[in-house]
Structure 1
Amino acid sequence: MPSSYQGPSRKDKMSATTHSQSSESNLKHDTATVRKVLQSKGADVFALRPQNTLHEAVEMLRDKRVGALIVKDSEGKLQGILSERDIVRKLAETPGQTLAQRVEDVMTTNVETCELDDPLISVLRKMTDGRFRHMPVIDDGNLVGIVSIGDVVNYRLNELEYEALQLKQLIVG
């Protein structure tokens, strides 16, 4: 036995126990909301005007490395959304003549939006049912961000990873 070893004493059992982990604290689950996704990914919104050309839109999509752009009027009010899918459809309809067309002639004008406190599950359901991948976020009538299906999935994967770590700590102790 090493010389530094000291057997347990009565005093050891009297030490204060900590309660930093419990099954309740480890399994506590807040509802995932749009706000939480924007806090983790950022609220950058890349927008253009209805009068811009598809050529300008394609360059912005490429440069910003995003899949959709918000279309706003001169007062900053949401007019529509332009996605890669919208552009591909127009390319198929008007080959060789697409990039000169204006955004307002191609964008989706009936835009589904969500709010900061909407649960992610309802946003994901709307995206899946509507077969679209980007949704503008509105707060008090103002555009405050955009979430993609990828953002939602990534947030949930990170959440699951964290939950798995918590469960592992609970089991291991």
Structure 2
Amino acid sequence: MSTVAAILKHKGYNVLTVSPDARISDVSAILSDNRIGAVLVLDEAEQMLGIVSERDIVRCLAANGTRTIDMTAGQLMTRAVQIAHPDTTVVEAMRMMTAGRFRHLPVVDHDTLVGLISIGDVVKARIMQQEATVESLTAYVAGSA
């Protein structure tokens, strides 16, 4: 069964992060410029404090209007961040994301941040698994005919 490690091997390990004092206007620019949906918020010791997603920004805009732009990542971030490990299966990651209704999942290995996967990454991996299964079954059936 495919794991989060396989997704990261294909996708890469680069994770964009911001400090808790980064302004939301800057965070928004990072998200837009890099065509990503979330950044992790790390302290000076590289410890994960939270995550800021597009959804967090939109919710804050709805509640606070233009004041949101002057807020900081530390003020706006989601603090209760679920994590995956490299050996977490794709199915487990999908279940976590679906149950928690979030789209981004940090990957931690022995207390070290090693990556960040999105629901799109998980769906892509799942589709690839299903295609491989179909091909295998098709080859089996064709070979036995």
Q: Same fold (TM over 0.5)?
A: yes
Deviation at 1:171?
A: 2.7
**Aligned partners of 1:44, 1:164: CA distance in 2, in Å?**
32
Deviation at 1:147?
A: 1.1
**Aligned partners of 2:89, 2:66: CA distance in 1, in Å?**
42
User: Do structure 1's residue 124 and structure 2's residue 94 form an aligned pair?
Assistant: yes
**Aligned partners of 1:118, 1:144: CA distance in 2, in Å?**
13
Query: Given that residues 85 and 108 in structure 2 are in contact (C-alpha distance below 8 angstroms), is that contact kept between their aligned partners in structure 1?
Result: yes
In structure 1, give the amino acid aligned to 2:113.
L
User: Do structure 1's residue 146 and structure 2's residue 145 form an aligned pair?
Assistant: no
* Greater helix fraction, Structure 1 or Structure 2: 2
Query: Given that residues 90 and 125 in structure 2 are in contact (C-alpha distance below 8 angstroms), is that contact kept between their aligned partners in structure 1?
Result: no
Deviation at 1:107?
A: 0.2
Residue in structure 2 matching 1:102, options 61, 72, 79: 72
User: Do structure 1's residue 92 and structure 2's residue 92 form an aligned pair?
Assistant: no
Secondary structure at 1:66's aligned position in 2? coil
Deviation at 1:32?
A: 1.6
Match of 1:5 in 2: none
**Aligned partners of 1:95, 1:134: CA distance in 2, in Å?**
25
Deviation at 1:124?
A: 1.4
In structure 2, give the amino acid aligned to 1:81.
I
In structure 1, give the amino acid aligned to 2:125.
Y
Deviation at 1:115?
A: 0.6
User: Do structure 1's residue 49 and structure 2's residue 19 form an aligned pair?
Assistant: yes
Deviation at 1:122?
A: 1.7
Q: Point out where structure 2 has 5 or more consecutive residues left out of the alignment.
A: none
Deviation at 1:162?
A: 2.0
User: Do structure 1's residue 58 and structure 2's residue 28 form an aligned pair?
Assistant: yes
Match of 1:14 in 2: none
Match of 1:68 in 2: 38
Deviation at 1:170?
A: 2.4
Match of 1:32 in 2: 2
Moved segments of 4+, more than 3 Å = none
Query: Given that residues 108 and 115 in structure 2 are in contact (C-alpha distance below 8 angstroms), is that contact kept between their aligned partners in structure 1?
Result: yes
Deviation at 1:169?
A: 2.3
Residue in structure 2 matching 1:157, options 122, 127, 130: 127
**Aligned partners of 1:119, 1:166: CA distance in 2, in Å?**
20
Match of 1:171 in 2: 141
Q: CA RMSD in A?
A: 1.1
Secondary structure at 1:81's aligned position in 2? strand
User: Percent identity at matched positions?
Assistant: 38
Deviation at 1:93?
A: 1.0
